[in-house]
C-alpha cells in the first residue's frame, strides 16, 4: 500500500473546520491592518532561496527539496515565503504602484527536516511582509498582528521574545568581540558550533547543545553593542508594543544569523507544545530586497506555523468549534420517488440550503440514522399517505415538531428552515 510521504500529513474532513476557522481569523485580522493577500508559485529557481535565505543556514544547506526539471534547471519547493514575495515584489515593480506594500499569505512550505511532534516536511504558514518603510511601528505591527491572532485563537501560554540585531557595521564589530571571547573555548564547542564559528558565529546562539549554552552564559551580547540609531529603533518598537498592550521579553540571544537581517527579530513561543515551542518568528530585512536584485528598499515580516498553532490550541483546548451540521436531509420513503427527491434536493441547494439525501437505496431507518450523523436540522419525508395526497412532511429534528406542506410549497419550507 502506498502511504503519505514521511513528514507529510493528510488534513482530513474532520480537521478542516479548525483549519477554516484559523484561516478566517488570520484573514480577518490581517485585513483589519489593511494587508492584501499574495499568492506565489510553490517552486522557484533554487538560486532565489540560496541568496534570499543564505547559503550557511540549515534550510539552504540541508533541508531544501531541490530537483532538476526535465530541462535541467535547478528548482526548489519553497521552504519559506519571504524570498518568493520579495521576488514577486521586484518582478512586478510593486513599489511603483504603492510606496508601502503590506502583503500576507497562507501557504504550504517544504523542508526536509527530521519529523517530530510539531515538525513536518510539508507544513503550512501564514505570514505577512510590509515592504517599503523602515518605520519601527511596522516592526511592532508584525508582532501585534501575530499576537492578536494567537490570542483570538484562545491561546494563553504565550511569550513574545524580541531582540535587535542592529546594522551590519555594528554587528561586524560585535562578531569580532564574540570571536575573541569564544576562541579560547573553541575546543569545547559542539561540532556544529565549530562550523558556525567559521561561517556565521552569531548562529552559535541558536544551538540547543548544553556545552554551547554553557559557554554562551558569559558571552558578550549584541544588544549591548548596538549603534545609536539601532538602539533608538529598538526603543520605538518597544514603545509601540507597550502602547498596543502586548507583553514582551527581551531575549538578547534570539538571533537570525543572516547578513541582510537588520534591527528587530522576534519570536512568539508557547509553553503548550513541547520542544518545538516557536509558533511564529519574524524580523526586519532592510538589505534583502537589494540582495535579491531590487532597489534599496526596507522590509519587515513574520511567518507562523499553522500545524504548531493548532497543536497548541488542542493542548490548551482553546478552540470551541461547534459540530458541523446540515440544514436538510431528504428521506425517500418508497421506491419510485427517487427522481422527485433528487429534483427537490437540487432546488433546495439552489436556494442555499445545505441539503443531502440517500444515494445507497437505504431503508427509512438507515436514512434517519444518516440524517442524525450529519446533524441535520430538518428532515423532509417524501412518500407515504401524505405524498399520495400531494403533501410533504417536514420534521424539525431539534424539537420533533412536524409540519405539513403542499408538494409545490418549497419556498415556504425553505423559509421555515432558514428561520425567516
Residue 125 interacts with ligand AMP (CB under 6 A): yes or no: yes
Give me the sign of the Cα torsion angle 301, 153, 277, 159: positive
Residue 305 interacts with ligand AMP (CB under 6 A): yes or no: yes
Residue 283 interacts with ligand AMP (CB under 6 A): yes or no: no
Residue 300 interacts with ligand AMP (CB under 6 A): yes or no: no
Contact 374, 356 (CB under 8 A): yes
Residue 308 interacts with ligand AMP (CB under 6 A): yes or no: yes
Residue 265 interacts with ligand AMP (CB under 6 A): yes or no: no
β-pair partners for 201: none
Closest CA to 141 of 25, 293, 299, 251: 299
**# residues near ligand AMP by CB under 6 A:** 17
Cα 142 to Cα 83, 302, 392, distances in angstroms: 17, 6, 56
Q: Stretches 176-184, 219-227, 233-241, 297-305: which one binds ligand AMP (CB under 6 A)?
A: 297-305
Residue 281 interacts with ligand AMP (CB under 6 A): yes or no: yes
Residue 263 interacts with ligand AMP (CB under 6 A): yes or no: no
Residue 307 interacts with ligand AMP (CB under 6 A): yes or no: yes
Contact 162, 264 (CB under 8 A): yes
Residue 261 interacts with ligand AMP (CB under 6 A): yes or no: no
Closest approach, Cβ 146 to ligand AMP, in A, equals 10
Residue 123 interacts with ligand AMP (CB under 6 A): yes or no: yes
Q: Is 317 left (phi over 0), alpha (psi -120 to 50) or beta?
A: left
Give me the sign of the Cα torsion angle 335, 338, 341, 345: positive
Closest approach, Cβ 53 to ligand AMP, in A, equals 9
d(CA 206, CA 150): 24
Q: Stretches 9-17, 167-175, 298-306, 317-325: which one binds ligand AMP (CB under 6 A)?
A: 298-306
Closest approach, Cβ 419 to ligand AMP, in A, equals 41
Q: Which residues contact 225 (CB under 8 A, 6 or more apart)?
A: 166, 170, 173, 174, 177
Nearer to ligand AMP, 284 or 395 (CB): 284
d(CA 222, CA 211): 21
Nearer to ligand AMP, 49 or 378 (CB): 49
Q: Which of 120, 205, 234, 285 binds ligand AMP (CB under 6 A)?
A: 120
Closest CA to 126 of 7, 31, 10: 31
Q: Stretches 27-35, 139-147, 166-174, 273-281: which one binds ligand AMP (CB under 6 A)?
A: 273-281
Q: Which of 155, 303, 380, 394 binds ligand AMP (CB under 6 A)?
A: 303
Residue 119 interacts with ligand AMP (CB under 6 A): yes or no: yes
Q: Which of 88, 244, 278, 397 binds ligand AMP (CB under 6 A)?
A: 278
Q: Stretches 11-19, 26-34, 153-161, 302-310: which one binds ligand AMP (CB under 6 A)?
A: 302-310
DSSP string, 270-296: ETTSTT--EEEEEEE-TTHHHHTTS-S
Closest approach, Cβ 199 to ligand AMP, in A, equals 18
* 3-state secondary structure at position 414: helix
Closest CA to 46 of 22, 25, 72, 74: 74
d(CA 403, CA 416): 10
Contact 131, 101 (CB under 8 A): yes
Query: Interface residues with ligand AMP (CB under 6 A)?
Result: 80, 111, 113, 118-120, 123, 125, 278-281, 303-305, 307-308
Amino acid at each position: 500500500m502506498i502511504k503519505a510521504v514521511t513528514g507529510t500529513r493528510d488534513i482530513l474532513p474532520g480537521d478542516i473546520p479548525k483549519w477554516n476557522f484559523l484561516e478566517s481569523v488570520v484573514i480577518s485580522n490581517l485585513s483589519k491592518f489593511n494587508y492584501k493577500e499574495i499568492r506565489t508559485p510553490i517552486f522557484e529557481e533554487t538560486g532565489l532561496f540560496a541568496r534570499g535565505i543564505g547559503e550557511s543556514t540549515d534550510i539552504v544547506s540541508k533541508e531544501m527539496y531541490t530537483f532538476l526539471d526535465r530541462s535541467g534547471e535547478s528548482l526548489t519547493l519553497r521552504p519559506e515565503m519571504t524570498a518568493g514575495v520579495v521576488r514577486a515584489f521586484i518582478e512586478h515593480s510593486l513599489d511603483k504602484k504603492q510606496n508601502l506594500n503590506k502583503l500576507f499569505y497562507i501557504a504550504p512550505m517544504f523542508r526536509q527536516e527530521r519529523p517530530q511532534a510539531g515538525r513536518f516536511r510539508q507544513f503550512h504558514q501564514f505570514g505577512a511582509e510590509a515592504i517599503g518603510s523602515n518605520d519601527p511601528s511596522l516592526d511592532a505591527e508584525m508582532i501585534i498582528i501575530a499576537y492578536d491572532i494567537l490570542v483570538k485563537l484562545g491561546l494563553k501560554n504565550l511569550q513574545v521574545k524580541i531582540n535587535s540585531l542592529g546594522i551590519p557595521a555594528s554587528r561586524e564589530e560585535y562578531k569580532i568581540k564574540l570571536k575573541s571571547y569564544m576562541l579560547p573555548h573553541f575546543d569545547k564547542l559542539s561540532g556544529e558550533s565549530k562550523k558556525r564559528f567559521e561561517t556565521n558565529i552569531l548562529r552559535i546562539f541558536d544551538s540547543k547543545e548544553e556545552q554551547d549554552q554553557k559557554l554562551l552564559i558569559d558571552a558578550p551580547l549584541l544588544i549591548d553593542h548596538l549603534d545609536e540609531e539601532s538602539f533608538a529603533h529598538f526603543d520605538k518598537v518597544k514603545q509601540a508594543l507597550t502602547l498596543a498592550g502586548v507583553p514582551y521579553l527581551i531575549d538578547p540571544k534570539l538571533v537570525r544569523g543572516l547578513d541582510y537581517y537588520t534591527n528587530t527579530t522576534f519570536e512568539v513561543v508557547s509553553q503548550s507544545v513541547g520542544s518545538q515551542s516557536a509558533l511564529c518568528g519574524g524580523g526586519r530585512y532592510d538589505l534583502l530586497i537589494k540582495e535579491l536584485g531590487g532597489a534599496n528598499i526596507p522590509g519587515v515580516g513574520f511567518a507562523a506555523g499553522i500545524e504548531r498553532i493548532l497543536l497548541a490550541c488542542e493542548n490548551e483546548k482553546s478552540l470551541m468549534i461547534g459540530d458541523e451540521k446540515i440544514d436538510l436531509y431528504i428521506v425517500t420513503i418508497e421506491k419510485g420517488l427517487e427522481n422527485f427527491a433528487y429534483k427537490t434536493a437540487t432546488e433546495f441547494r439552489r436556494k442555499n440550503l445545505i441539503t443531502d439525501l440517500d444515494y445507497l437505496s437505504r431503508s427509512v431507518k438507515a436514512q434517519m440514522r444518516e440524517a442524525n450523523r450529519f446533524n441535520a436540522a430538518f428532515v423532509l419525508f417524501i412518500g407515504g399517505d401524505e405524498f399520495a395526497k400531494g403533501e410533504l412532511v417536514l420534521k424539525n429534528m431539534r424539537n420533533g415538531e412536524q409540519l405539513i406542506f403542499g408538494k409545490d410549497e418549497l419556498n415556504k419550507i425553505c423559509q421555515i428552515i432558514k428561520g425567516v
